[in-house]
Amino acid sequence: MDQIKVVMMRGRWTAWIDDLNAVSDRVTAVAAETDEDLMREIVDADVVYGRLPREPFRIANKLKWVQSIGVGFETMLYPEMIDSNVVITNTAGAFDSAMAEHALALILSFTRGIIFCERNRKGHLWQQDVPISQIDGQTACVLGLGSIGRAIIDRLPALGVTVTAVDAQVTDPPDGVSKLYSPDQMLDAVAEADFVIVALPLTDGTRGLINADCFARMKDTGYLVNIARGPIVNQADLINALRAHQIAGAGMDVFEKEPLPEDSPLWEMENVVLTPHLGGRSEEGGPNMKNIFVENLKRYVEGKNLLNIIDKQKGYLIQ
C-alpha cells in the first residue's frame, strides 16, 4: 500500500504529529514551520493540515486533501483549487459549543443589563434604571443551519425562545425550529425576530448580505448578533442603523476589518457589545480539532468518506 505524507502547516497543531503517525504505519506526518519548509514538503504531500496558499498549491503534485484549520476555508477558494480534484474539509463541530455559548452571552449581556452595569462600574455608579428584559417568550432568527447554527438552536428553546431559521440547503425545519425560511424570504424572517443571529459561511452570496434593507425590516427593539464572518454584515449600514435607532443594538465578535480600526465608531457606541473574534476560543477547541482530524485521517487511510467536505463551487459545507 502507498505511503501517505501529511504536512502540518505552522501552528500549535504540529505537536499532533505523533498522534497522526499512530493512525497507520502508512502515515508519515511532518511539520512545515516556515514558508521554505512548506514549499519543500508540499511537492510530494498527499494531505495538508492548514489553510494552504495558492503558491505552494501550484507545486503540490500529489495533493489529494486539505484539512482546513477551524471552520474557515474561504482563503483557499482560488481558481486553481476550485478547479482541482483536491478535497477540502474543515473542523466543523470543534467550536460549536463555544460559539453557541458566545452568541447567548452577547444576547444576555444586553437583555440582563450586564453591559450597562459594567460600564457604570467604572464610575462607581449604582444605577438600577438600566434597560433590562427577559428572553423567555421572544423570537430568535438563526441565519445558517450549519453545525454552529444548530448548536445555537439546541440551546435557545430551553430559555423559552421561539426559533426560526434561514438556510439555503435545509428544506425541512430541524428540531427546535418553528419555521424555516429560504434565503429569498430572509427579510420576512428578520422582520419577525427579536434577535437575528448570523451563523453563515462567507461566500459571494453572503458577503454584505446583512445590509440597510435588512436593518430597515428588523424591529427597532431587535438585536443583531454576528459570530460568523465580519464581511457578511455591511458595517457602514450597521453603524447607520445603530445611530438612527433602527435596531436596539448589536453584539459583534467579527468585523469587516480585523483588528477593528481604532477610529471605528463601534468602539464608542453604547448599544454595541463587541469582542475581538474569540467566539470559538476555548481550552477544549484544540483537542476537538485534533480529534476531528485524526478521525478523518483514519477514514482517508481506510478509503471511507471524509467528514465535513466543502462544496468548493458553492463555498460551504455539504450537509
Question: Of 162, 234, 241, nearest to 198 (Cα)?
Answer: 234
Residue 229 designated active-site? yes
Active-site residue (options: 10, 155, 207, 277):
277
Domains 4-93+283-317 and 96-274 share a fold: yes
Residue 258 designated active-site? yes
For 116, residues 6+ apart whose C-beta sits below 8 A from its C-beta are 130, 131, 270
Are 53 and 32 within 8 A, CB to CB?
no
Residue-by-residue pLDDT tens, the chain, 319 positions: 799 999 999 999 999 999 999 999 999 999 999 999 999 999 999 999 999 999 999 999 999 999 999 888 999 999 999 999 999 999 999 999 999 999 999 999 999 999 999 999 999 999 999 999 999 999 999 999 999 999 999 999 999 999 999 999 999 999 999 999 999 999 999 999 999 999 999 999 999 999 999 999 999 999 999 999 999 999 999 999 999 999 999 999 999 999 999 999 999 999 999 999 999 999 999 999 999 999 999 999 999 999 999 999 999 898 7
Residue 102 designated active-site? no
CATH of domain 96-274: 3.40.50.720
Active-site residue (options: 33, 80, 258, 295):
258
The CATH number of 4-93+283-317, from 3.30.420.40, 2.40.50.840, 3.40.50.300, 3.40.50.720, is 3.40.50.720
Active-site residue (options: 41, 51, 229, 256):
229
